[in-house]
């Protein structure tokens, strides 16, 4: 057995934050970045490092505020409808345009619309004016020495204009905090390089840099380091000399090749190693040479959370800015979630507005599933003191997307099909304000989501063994008394996906029991699983005889991927998935894939737009081009009760 670090600590998030930030504060490691002078034109979004006081007034002279004639007000006294006053150009008045300086002797401007020209350089007016009428006095907008914007102010477009008008051409702003990012791991390969088993694409640093930039910092990604104590130490030194903060990605746990904590301990102060959060437990918080050094986990979701919790406050505080909070809403949790006492869990959820309330549906909880962050609308914190959250409980959701965007999201929970991705894309393309957000939980999962009122639509392909009919029998049974509209998405071919060239010569379901064949299954409740079980029953095959019957995947593509990766020899799925993974396909049965929409959601504008797309020839053509689909009834209402 290789040498291992002692086990991780398990301090609470509150304690970790306290230990880390109090240390940084007291040791002066959170100081503001220095200032630099930039041209006002280049200063958008930058933070002022000192107050900006006006150098000059704006306007800097008395100016006409209207197009019209400049006059001396006393020449107009007594003017009226019955007593018009005549004025002579060059003697009693001068034409002025907005912004012109007031000619000597003039103290007011009369709007051109109120001036009646008489010819020969004479005009008539029928109302008097007062001194300073329609005149912008010096400093009316900005008075010299006035505060234009204070220190610690993020410069907006209107501020730039005001600062220029106040006589400045440059402005002192804070330097952006620099964050050095060190990707570590012998298994890392750069994007685009060839991959072998065990290799991991170095994708985290793009996310880490992106977060730093969104927070107003500057990211400096150093060359990746293999798992080697001396090499990582050297990189940390490089980072410290070039940046204000150092982030080491991965090697943050206590495994035999985890060097982050060891390096920090050797070079400075190790403050925390291991926080009771999920995901993100193996985080390392330290300080070297008066600068914060953070080791963040390799799993992308853990990395994302560790950045949010520990690096974001540093980047903001170094700019002199408050740390912005996320917008929050209350939602009802759609399903029970069990969690561990003593651990604060960050649950990613999809959120949809279902009538008058928001419903939050949990996404994959794996720390390795970056797609759960890509797909998430928000995060729910399950406190350390709780064993979980009950279905239907009201929770607070920290939003990752705009509330407006969430209000315009159509939720589709149920079975997965490649055409749903197509539909989502088509909707976003044609109606950018609407988002189709799909979660893949199988057809029965879709029925359950409809029952719980947690989705606007569900994708279903449930064959009833008794009647041979699709979907309607299930809706009648599980959603009795509810009005549901059923619309056809497409007919699709189900079949066995096998390796290219079908090396094991699999010809149908009956071959799955062969000793040399390993199968990969879909989860219980998936329409494809029901189809398989029906076929097995028809053929009188005991599922226990199939190797791999117990290994379940949640999507066609995941099953295809398992076959493509050699983990299994066959899996039941659709032609599109087989093609996507370059697999061969042994047809088993065609099936109908429908979309069920509760009657109350049917009139929604967004749902009507979905239907419009389903019925367009363009969309049908796109489905057909995938292969294995029949769109002759796509968009058609399926008759039921």
CB 73 within 8 A of CB 133: yes
Residue among 151 and 393 whose Cβ is closer to its own copies: 151
CB of 617 to its own copies, least distance (A): 19
Only one of the segments 9-17, 36-44, 263-271, 464-472 lies at the binding site for its own copies (rule: CB under 8 A); that segment is: 36-44
Cα separation, 255 vs 208, in Å, equals 23
Q: Are strands 277-278 and 269-273 parallel, antiparallel or unpaired?
A: unpaired
For the chain, the 3-state helix, strand and coil shares in percent, each to the nearest 5, are 30, 30, 40
298 near its own copies (CB under 8 A):
yes
In degrees, to the nearest 5, what angle opens at C-alpha 560 toward C-alphas 556 and 563?
145
150 near its own copies (CB under 8 A):
yes
Matching residue, tokens 């390392």:
284
506 near its own copies (CB under 8 A):
no
Residue among 206 and 451 whose Cβ is closer to its own copies: 206
Q: Check residue 52 and report its DSSP letter.
A: E
Give the number of other Cβ atoms within 10 Å of residue 632's Cβ. 10
CB of 474 to its own copies, least distance (A): 26
Only one of the segments 237-245, 382-390, 573-581, 628-636 lies at the binding site for its own copies (rule: CB under 8 A); that segment is: 573-581
543 near its own copies (CB under 8 A):
no
Binders in 205-224 for its own copies, by CB under 8 A = 206-211, 213-214
544 near its own copies (CB under 8 A):
no
Q: How far is CA 430 from CA 402, 415, 433, in A?
A: 20, 24, 9
CB of 472 to its own copies, least distance (A): 29
Residue among 394 and 425 whose Cβ is closer to its own copies: 425
Residue among 475 and 570 whose Cβ is closer to its own copies: 570
Residue among 377 and 475 whose Cβ is closer to its own copies: 377
Residue among 150 and 342 whose Cβ is closer to its own copies: 150
Residues 6+ apart with CB under 8 A from 547: 515, 517, 518, 519
Cα separation, 508 vs 502, in Å, equals 12
Q: Name the token pair of 111.
A: 């709007």
CB of 266 to its own copies, least distance (A): 21
CB of 123 to its own copies, least distance (A): 8
111 near its own copies (CB under 8 A):
no
In degrees, to the nearest 5, what angle opens at C-alpha 351 toward C-alphas 420 and 374?
65
561 near its own copies (CB under 8 A):
yes
Residue among 426 and 470 whose Cβ is closer to its own copies: 426
Residue among 137 and 473 whose Cβ is closer to its own copies: 137
Matching residue, tokens 């006294």:
77
Q: Is the peptide bond before 295 cis (omega within 30 degrees of 0)?
A: no
Q: Name the token pair of 170.
A: 């440059």
Residue among 27 and 152 whose Cβ is closer to its own copies: 152
Q: Which long-range contacts (CB under 8 A, 24 or more apart) does 508-515 make?
A: 508/586, 508/588, 509/535, 509/536, 509/539, 509/541, 509/588, 510/539, 510/541, 511/570, 512/541, 512/546, 512/570, 513/541, 513/545, 513/546, 515/547
Cα separation, 605 vs 408, in Å, equals 10
Considering only 23, 244, 257, 511, the residue that binds its own copies (CB under 8 A) is 257
Residue among 12 and 62 whose Cβ is closer to its own copies: 62
Residue among 159 and 594 whose Cβ is closer to its own copies: 159
Considering only 325, 468, 481, 544, the residue that binds its own copies (CB under 8 A) is 325
CB 112 within 8 A of CB 66: yes
Q: Check residue 637 and report its DSSP letter.
A: B
Nearest to 186 by CA among 222, 231, 219: 231
Binders in 474-503 for its own copies, by CB under 8 A = none
CB of 364 to its own copies, least distance (A): 8
Q: Name the token pair of 327.
A: 């917008």
550 near its own copies (CB under 8 A):
yes
Cα separation, 373 vs 367, in Å, equals 10
Cα separation, 307 vs 321, in Å, equals 17
Residue among 53 and 602 whose Cβ is closer to its own copies: 53
Residues 6+ apart with CB under 8 A from 603: none
321 near its own copies (CB under 8 A):
yes
Q: Name the token pair of 598.
A: 């509760």
CB of 348 to its own copies, least distance (A): 11
Residue among 237 and 405 whose Cβ is closer to its own copies: 405
Considering only 34, 255, 392, 505, the residue that binds its own copies (CB under 8 A) is 255
553 near its own copies (CB under 8 A):
yes
41 near its own copies (CB under 8 A):
yes
82 near its own copies (CB under 8 A):
no
Q: Are strands 277-278 and 170-174 parallel, antiparallel or unpaired?
A: unpaired
CB of 476 to its own copies, least distance (A): 32
Q: Residues binding its own copies: what is the number (CB under 8 A)?
A: 131
Residue among 369 and 534 whose Cβ is closer to its own copies: 369
449 near its own copies (CB under 8 A):
no
CB of 151 to its own copies, least distance (A): 5
61 near its own copies (CB under 8 A):
yes
524 near its own copies (CB under 8 A):
no
Per-residue binding string, its own copies, 409-448, x by CB under 8 A, is: ---------x--x--xx--xx--xx---------------
Binders in 340-369 for its own copies, by CB under 8 A = 366, 368-369
318 near its own copies (CB under 8 A):
no
Burial of 182 (0-12, 13-18, 19+ CB in 10 A): buried
CB 66 within 8 A of CB 98: yes
Residue among 11 and 66 whose Cβ is closer to its own copies: 66
Enumerate the β-bridge partners of residue 552.
521
Considering only 70, 564, 572, 574, the residue that binds its own copies (CB under 8 A) is 564
Q: Name the token pair of 637.
A: 């209402």
508 near its own copies (CB under 8 A):
no
Cα separation, 172 vs 167, in Å, equals 14
Q: Are strands 409-414 and 435-440 parallel, antiparallel or unpaired?
A: parallel
Residue among 322 and 383 whose Cβ is closer to its own copies: 322
Only one of the segments 76-84, 478-486, 553-561, 592-600 lies at the binding site for its own copies (rule: CB under 8 A); that segment is: 553-561
Binders in 2-21 for its own copies, by CB under 8 A = 2, 4, 7
Sheet holding 68-71, edge to edge: 93-96, 68-71, 108-111
């Amino acid at each position: 057995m290789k040498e291992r670090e002692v086990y991780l600590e398990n301090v609470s998030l509150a304690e970790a934050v306290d230990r880390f930030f109090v240390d940084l504060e007291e040791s002066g490691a959170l100081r503001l970045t220095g200032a630099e002078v930039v041209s006002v034109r280049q200063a958008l979004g930058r933070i002022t490092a000192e107050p900006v006081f006006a150098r000059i007034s704006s306007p800097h002279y008395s100016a006409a505020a209207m197009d019209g004639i400049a006059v001396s007000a006393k020449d107009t006294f007594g003017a009226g409808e019955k007593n018009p006053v005549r004025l002579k150009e060059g003697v009693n008045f001068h034409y002025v345009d907005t912004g012109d300086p007031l000619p000597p002797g003039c103290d007011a401007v009369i709007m051109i619309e109120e001036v009646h020209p008489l010819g020969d350089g004479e005009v008539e007016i029928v109302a008097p004016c007062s001194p300073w009428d329609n005149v912008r006095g010096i400093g009316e907008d900005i008075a010299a020495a006035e505060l234009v914007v204070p220190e610690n102010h993020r410069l907006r477009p209107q501020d730039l204009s005001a600062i220029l008008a106040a006589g400045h051409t440059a402005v002192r702003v804070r330097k952006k905090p620099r964050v050095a990012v060190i990707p570590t791991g012998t298994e890392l390969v750069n994007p685009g390089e060839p991959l072998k088993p065990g290799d991991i694409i170095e994708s985290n640093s793009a996310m880490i840099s992106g977060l730093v930039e969104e927070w107003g910092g500057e990211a400096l990604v150093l060359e990746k380091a293999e798992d080697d104590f001396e090499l990582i130490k050297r990189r940390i030194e490089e980072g410290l000399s070039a940046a204000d903060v150092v982030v080491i990605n991965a090697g943050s746990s206590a495994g035999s090749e985890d060097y982050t904590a060891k390096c920090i301990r050797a070079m400075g102060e190790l403050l925390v190693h291991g926080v009771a959060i999920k995901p993100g437990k193996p985080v390392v918080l330290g300080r070297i040479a008066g600068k914060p050094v953070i080791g963040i986990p390799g799993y992308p979701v853990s990395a994302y959370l560790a950045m949010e919790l520990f690096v974001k406050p540093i980047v903001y505080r170094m700019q002199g800015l408050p740390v912005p909070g996320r917008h929050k809403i209350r939602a009802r949790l759609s399903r029970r979630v069990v969690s561990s006492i003593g651990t604060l869990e960050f649950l990613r959820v999809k959120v949809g507005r279902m009538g008058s309330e928001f419903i939050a549906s949990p996404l994959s909880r794996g720390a390795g599933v970056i797609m759960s962050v890509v797909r998430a609308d928000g995060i729910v914190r399950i406190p350390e003191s709780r064993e979980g959250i009950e279905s239907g409980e009201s929770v607070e959701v920290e939003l990752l997307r705009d509330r407006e965007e969430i209000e315009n999201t159509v939720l589709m929970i149920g079975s997965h099909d490649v055409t749903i991705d197509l539909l989502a894309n088509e909707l976003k393309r044609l109606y950018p304000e609407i988002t189709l957000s799909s979660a893949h939980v199988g057809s029965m999962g879709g029925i359950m989501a409809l029952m719980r009122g947690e989705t606007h639509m569900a994708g279903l392909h449930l064959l009833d063994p008794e009647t041979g009919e699709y979907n309607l029998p299930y809706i009648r049974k599980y959603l009795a008394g509810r009005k549901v509209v059923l619309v056809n998405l497409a007919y699709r071919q189900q079949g066995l996906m096998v390796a290219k060239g079908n090396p094991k010569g699999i010809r149908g379901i009956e071959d799955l029991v062969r000793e040399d064949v390993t199968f990969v299954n879909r989860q219980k409740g998936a329409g494809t699983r029901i189809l398989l079980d029906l076929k097995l029953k028809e053929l009188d095959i005991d599922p226990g005889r199939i190797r791999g019957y117990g290994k379940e995947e949640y999507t066609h593509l995941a099953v295809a991927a398992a076959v493509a990766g050699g983990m299994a020899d066959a899996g039941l799925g659709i032609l599109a998935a087989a093609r996507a993974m370059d697999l061969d396909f042994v047809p088993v049965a065609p099936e109908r894939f429908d979309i069920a929409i509760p009657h109350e959601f049917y009139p929604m504008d967004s749902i009507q737009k979905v239907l419009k797309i389903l019925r367009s020839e363009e969309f049908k053509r796109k489905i057909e081009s995938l292969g294995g689909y029949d769109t002759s009834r796509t968009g058609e209402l399926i008759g039921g009760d």
